[in-house]
Amino acid sequence: MFPAKIAEFIDRNLPATEYYLNEEMKKHTTFKTGGPADILILPYTISDLQKLMHFLVQAQIPYIIIGHGSNLLVGDKGVREPVIKLEKNLSNCAVAGEVIEAEAGALIMDVAKLAQKQALTGLEFACGIPGTVGGAVFMNAGAYGGEIKDVLEEVLVLTTGGNLQTRTVSELNLGYRTSVIQKNGDLIVKAKFRLQKGDQAAIQNRMNELTRKREANQPLNFPSAGSIFKRPAGHYTGQLIQEASLKGYKIGGAQVSDKHAGFIVNTGNATSSDIINLIRHIQAEVKKRFHVQLETEVRMIGEF
Ligand SMILES: Cc1cc2nc3c(=O)[nH]c(=O)nc-3n(C[C@H](O)[C@H](O)[C@H](O)COP(=O)(O)OP(=O)(O)OC[C@H]3O[C@@H](n4cnc5c(N)ncnc54)[C@H](O)[C@@H]3O)c2cc1C
């Protein structure tokens, strides 16, 4: 959507901000699928991001924000809206007492490591989640009994009107893999996590234990987007899929993991269409056998 106009604006006003035309999104998703984005932009600073957003808002150009692409399925025909990727440049973190403030593009697992170094406890659960701070807040990411909601104090957002505003955790309505940001279109710029003083060795031990659990149970040697579906109330997704005899089931290069049936993996040459067809097949089979509607956790963008 107007990539030349956007590129011209960046060339003139934001010299340190990189952008790429016709950028293959498979390079920016952990599924390693997805067609070309007309333009992918890596804002260099928060000020650059703010100027870019002002320009897009004024020009009425809709945009898409991504972090690490670890919860994304991008259509094979690519993305017409400008894609703004926050990982890489916007990743500064600062510690003050028991509070860590992190820019949205920092990896949440790096924030968890920083917390451990500072003997701060609370973020151990996030040590194996491969997304950014922005993506983790947007999804209220969680694992092994912990979730972002437990440790988040506030976020700085850029509103759809282009203004910077602070939102407290209670204003974000964080629930199981949901946040108000999924509805209001705010862009998360920074997050403040309030942790507690703990024992450095005990924090490291807990992180090691969770890493071992992940390695034992999840197909980490294949590209994926983690759990493909949300957990339906009263059920375990992996168990439903396994009991529907779909473990190992394949469409094209997409396969229900034979290690963990809640994951779809790219066995090497999957397209996003293979993955979406497999998602639909699983949903239909589970509905037919158990009358349970599986809802995707992975977010879809672009043209399929
Ligand atoms: C191997 C593996 C294991 C995983 N394990 C877990 C797990 O244990 N628990 C868990 O919860 N998830 C898990 N995930 C999924 C994923 O890592 C999380 O959902 C993560 O929080 C997504 O962050 P991201 O930066 O990759 O977001 P992306 O995938 O880039 O984006 C996800 C959504 O967030 C939005 N978004 C991203 N950044 C911003 C921002 N700054 N402002 C506004 N919106 C934004 C995007 O528009 C998109 O809709 C796993 C994934 C993989 C591949």
Domains of the chain (ranges, CATH numbers): 3-85 (3.30.43.10), 93-202 (3.30.465.10), 218-301 (3.90.78.10)
Whole-number pLDDT of residue 188: 98
CA proximity to 150, closest of 119, 210, 193: 193
Instruction: Burial-class residue 52 by CB neighbours within 10 Å (0-12, 13-18, 19+).
Output: buried
pLDDT above 80: residue 1 = no
HSE of 32 in the Cβ direction (CA atoms, 13 Å)?
Answer: 13
CA distances from 303 to 36, 43, 77, 189 (A): 10, 24, 5, 27
Which of the four pLDDT bands, split at 50, 70 and 90, describes residue 107? very high
Which of the four pLDDT bands, split at 50, 70 and 90, describes residue 162? confident
Whole-number pLDDT of residue 88: 85
Contact present, 126 and 204 (Cβ < 8 Å): no
What is the average pLDDT across 225-240? 96
Which of the four pLDDT bands, split at 50, 70 and 90, describes residue 70? very high
Mean per-residue pLDDT over the chain, rounded: 97
Whether the pTM exceeds 0.75: the reply is yes
pLDDT above 80: residue 108 = yes
List 177, 179, 206, 272, catalytic entry: 177
What is the average pLDDT across 34-59? 96
Q: How many whole angstroms from 249 Cα to the centroid of ligand 1?
A: 25
Structure tokens at 88: 């890489």
List 70, 179, 224, 227, catalytic entry: 227
Contact present, 148 and 140 (Cβ < 8 Å): yes
Question: For a pocket test of ligand 1, which of 46, 124, 129, 159 has the largest count of ligand atoms closer than 8 A to its C-beta?
Answer: 129
What is the average pLDDT across 264-283? 98
pLDDT above 90: residue 165 = yes
What is the average pLDDT across 136-150? 98
Whole-number pLDDT of residue 43: 98
Is-catalytic flag, 177?
yes
What is the average pLDDT across 107-116? 98
Cβ atoms within 10 A of the Cβ of 145, count? 8
- Check if 83 has its Cβ closer than 6 Å to any atom of ligand 1: no
Contact present, 295 and 230 (Cβ < 8 Å): yes
Is-catalytic flag, 209?
no
> What percent of the chain is modeled with pLDDT above 90?
98
What is the average pLDDT across 58-79? 97
Which of the four pLDDT bands, split at 50, 70 and 90, describes residue 161? confident
Which of the four pLDDT bands, split at 50, 70 and 90, describes residue 239? very high
Q: How many whole angstroms from 60 Cα to the centroid of ligand 1?
A: 26
Q: Rounded CA gap, 115 and 108, in Å?
A: 10
